[in-house]
Structure 1
Amino acid sequence: MNHRLHALLFDVTGMFSIAIVVFIISTSQTVGQALSVYIPNTFHQLNTIFLSILIEALPFVLIGVLIAGFIQIFVTEEMVRRCIPQNKYLAVLVSCVIGGLFPACECGIVPIVRRLVSKGVPIHAAVGFMLTGPLINPIVILSTYMAFGNDMKMAAQRMGFGFLAALIISAIVAFLYQSNQLKEPAVVHTHSTMADSRPKKTFSQKLGEIMHHAIDEFFDMGKYLFIGAFIAAAFQTSISTSSIDLFGDGIFGSTVVMMGLAYLMSLCSEADAFIGASFSQTFPATAILAFLMYGPMIDLKNTLMLWGVFRAKFVLVLLVIITLVVFLCAGFADMIG
């Protein structure tokens, strides 16, 4: 318990210190004027992008950890086992459908998935839920429809090919992995006679436990979000438009470039369609579709968050599978037209 408390205090102190420094440099005119000689414009640009990514992602992370806390307290292993089909491929289909109806961002989905896996959800079902939740939920589809001038074509392609890609990826994971792939082994709680004889907790006590778990989850995930957001901001600051145009010739090159941008920019899936639409005059529709499919499934900050939850080898393999499947699905979309 003392070790856990020290770790939590270390996370809180570190994140709070970073936030204070960034806030002072961003908002203080005195500090800004005093350091203007020493701080280049690229740093101010990096700082702005870094803060925008954090502001965009933090509300969804907070929602995600609250849902994770709710799952921890109110969802039992028995309930999970009853909801998930025994057949692994049927479980993949069910999880992808549920994920598609669940309004979650790729940042907030990671703590939810970790909690579900620790409760006994198979890793292939968890991956299906994790991929479709941020990619094709109703809010994302509506924002895509609006971003492309109230044209349903791109929204429909994102939903259809995104769902197909999620099914394929989850099925591959089901074939390759049997264990849950968590860094720390999941603790399965059994209800013994002694546990049943304990007095039942009140609703307010359960709410307190939800907040306790949510706080632990937030500071555990938050450090990876901070690091990922900073690295993504650094890449966005250093990549020029001319270099993008240089590597964006042809369907193959443009698709690779747009997938790379989706990974590095680490946009929120509820807003990425508006950024994707801004590239409509530069890149073909296939490359933009790949951009809209790839980013919500996996991006830089999300990779680091997954790295903090799952085994490193599994995260690397999942990254490769997602990349190949999305690229092939985008190519298939281009072929059928």
Structure 2
Amino acid sequence: MTYLNKMLKDSLCLLLFGFFMILFLFAEKIKDISFFNRFPSSFFNINTIFLGIVLEAIPFILLGVFVSAIIQAFVSENAIRKFLPRNAYLALIPAALLGVIFPICECAIIPVVRRLIKKGMPAHVGVVFMLSAPILNPVVYASTYFAFKSTPYIANARMFAGFISSIIIGLIIYRRFKGENILKTDNDIQHGHHHHHSSKRNKFLETLYHASDELFDTGKYLFIGAFLASLFQTFLDRNVLLSIGTSPSLAPGVMMGFAYVLSVCSSADAFVASSFGSTFTEGSILAFLVFGPMIDIKNTLMLFGYFKKRFVLFLLMVTPVVVYLSVYIFQLIFI
């Protein structure tokens, strides 16, 4: 029964993507049909935004699933243990800095982190890597610096606030879930028939097997999340948000909410944020740039798919509080 439910979910996601792809390719012809003239123009806007999010994220999803598959095939548990300091607190620093080496955005980081945790990485260390990598990588830094050419310190502030916030959240996760398994066990059961190959099997084929599994699992959450984000982007009244953009206490929270529902990839979100520079405070812009890569609609669904519900709900409560306080203090001191 579980396998049947999984097949139905996969089929529905593929149908959803196919439906929007048909609308995208034949939108003009469909509009000419009298039946579809009854639909508001916003219906076609949802389609355009949905495909924009998906097509933007797919390259990074592919990168993430192949990195995850390579980790499964080639990286041993002993290698992970040797890389990380034994001290639970000292291990947080290299975990946060891993993003500098691996340019992975939030669209692709979750399957990588899940694989690392299954390979022996401590859960709180994996969480730090998951939250910091979409911010502290050279691709994101370059895009942020270019988007804020008139105020280049925003790029440095983003790196600093993202690093501090991820470390604090990692410490809280360690204190709350020390020694607990935060991964969903039913996912392990579903994929068990693919992940136990003989050591003699060709490593390249093994990597492809794992990558195909991860791609279909991650893709369905991406499609659902992109659909929800496209609904929000289409029907959200942005004028209401702009009216409170100058409040130093309210604006960061509003922009964090905006980042959550827009679900823009971290390699491109700086250009979205810069468009609000004339209306929102710099602190709120920074909140948008830090919180969005950590938590948005797309990766929330992926988190619920791969991690235990209790852990995900706790992370969803802690992350916005830590980011808000970090950004608020930062803007009081430096901005």
Q: Under a length normalisation based on structure 1, what TM-score does the superposition of the two structures give?
A: 0.90
Say if 2:122 is the partner of 1:95: no
What's 2:15 paired with? 17
The answer on 1:108 being equivalent to 2:118 is no
Q: Any stretches of 5+ residues in structure 1 without a counterpart? A: 188-194
Aligned twin of 1:30: 29
Moved more, 134-143 or 9-18: 9-18
The count of corresponding residues between Structure 1 and Structure 2 is 323
Q: What is the CA-CA distance between 1:23 and the residue it aligns to?
A: 1.8
Cα distance, 1:251–1:208 mapped onto 2, change above 3 Å: same
Change (3 A) 1:3 1:328: closer
Quick one: structure 1 residues 152 and 9, their matched pair in 2 at CA, closer, same or farther if it must change by over 3 Å? same
What does residue 55 of structure 2 align with?
55
Deviations 1:105-155 (A, max 9, x none): 101001101101111111111011111110121111111110012643101
Contact 1:109 1:133 in 2 (8 A): yes
Matching residue of 2:192: none
Pair 1:227-2:228 in alignment: no
- Name the counterpart of 2:181: 180
Q: Which residue of 2 aligns with 1:192?
A: none
Q: Of the candidates 248, 251, 258, which is equivalent to residue 251 of structure 1?
A: 248
Residue 294 (str. 1) matches residue 295 (str. 2): no
| Range that drifts further, 218-227 or 30-39 | 30-39
Q: What residue in structure 2 maps to residue 190 of structure 1?
A: none
Letter in 2 for 1:182: L
- Residue 98 of structure 1 and its aligned partner are, at CA, apart by 1.4
- Rounded to whole Å, the distance in 2 between the matches of 1:7 and 1:217 is 18
**8 Å Cα contact 2:246/2:279 also seen in 1:** no
Say if 1:100 and 1:137, in contact at 8 Å, map to a contact too. Answer: yes
* RMSD of aligned Cα (Å): 2.0
1:277 aligns with 274
Distance in 2 of aligned mates of 1:98 and 1:275: 26
Quote how far apart the aligned CAs of 1:241 are: 2.2
Q: 1:218 aligns with which of 191, 215, 240?
A: 215
Query: Where does residue 41 of structure 2 map in the other structure?
Result: 41
**SS of alignment partner, residue 267 of structure 1:** coil
1:39 shift after superposition:
1.9
TM-score normalised according to structure 2 size: 0.91
1:228 partner SS: helix
Corresponding residue of 1:119: 119
- Give me the whole-angstrom Cα distance separating, in 2, the residues matched to 1:258 and 1:91: 31
* TM-fit CA distance, 1:7: 6.6
Counterpart contact for 1:143–1:273, Cα < 8 Å: yes
Measure how far apart 1:227 and its partner are. 0.8
Task: Report deviation, 1:245.
Answer: 2.2
Shift of 1:89: 0.6
CA contact (8 A) 2:13 2:224 kept: no
Contact 2:56 2:265 in 1 (8 A): yes
1:155-170 equivalent positions in 2, closer than 5 A: 155-170=155-170
Among 204, 208, 213, the alignment partner of 1:207 is 204
| Residue type of the alignment partner of 1:15 | C
CA distance in 2, matches of 1:184, 1:137: 31
Instruction: Determine if contact 2:21/2:51 at 8 Å carries over to the other structure.
Output: no
CA distance in 2, matches of 1:247, 1:199: 59
Report which stretch shifted further, 92-101 or 123-132.
Answer: 92-101
- % same residue: 41
- Cα-to-partner distance string for 1:82-122 (whole Å, 9 max, x where unaligned): 22222111111111111233200101001101101111111
Give the aligned partner of residue 314 of structure 1.
311
Secondary structure of 2:91's match? Answer: helix
Please give the per-residue CA displacement for 1:174-200, whole angstroms capped at 9, x wherever unaligned.
11112230011797xxxxxxx9xx773
Question: Aligned residue for 1:242?
Answer: 239
Aligned mates of 1:185, 1:3 — CA distance in 2? 10
Q: 1:119 to 1:154 in 2, by over 3 A?
A: same
Q: Does 2:260 match 1:263?
A: yes
Query: Once the 2 structures are TM-superposed, how far is the Cα of residue 253 of structure 1 from its aligned partner?
Result: 1.3
Structure-2 separation of matches of 1:23 and 1:232: 17
On the 8 A contact 2:62/2:215 being kept in 1, the answer is yes
**Change in CA separation of 1:199 and 1:66 when aligned onto 2, cut-off 3 Å:** closer
Structure 2 stretches of 5 or more lacking a match? 189-195
Cα distance in 1, alignment partners of residues 217 and 200 from structure 2:
29
Give, in angstroms, the shift of residue 79 of structure 1: 1.5
For the residue of structure 1 that corresponds to 2:149, the secondary structure is coil
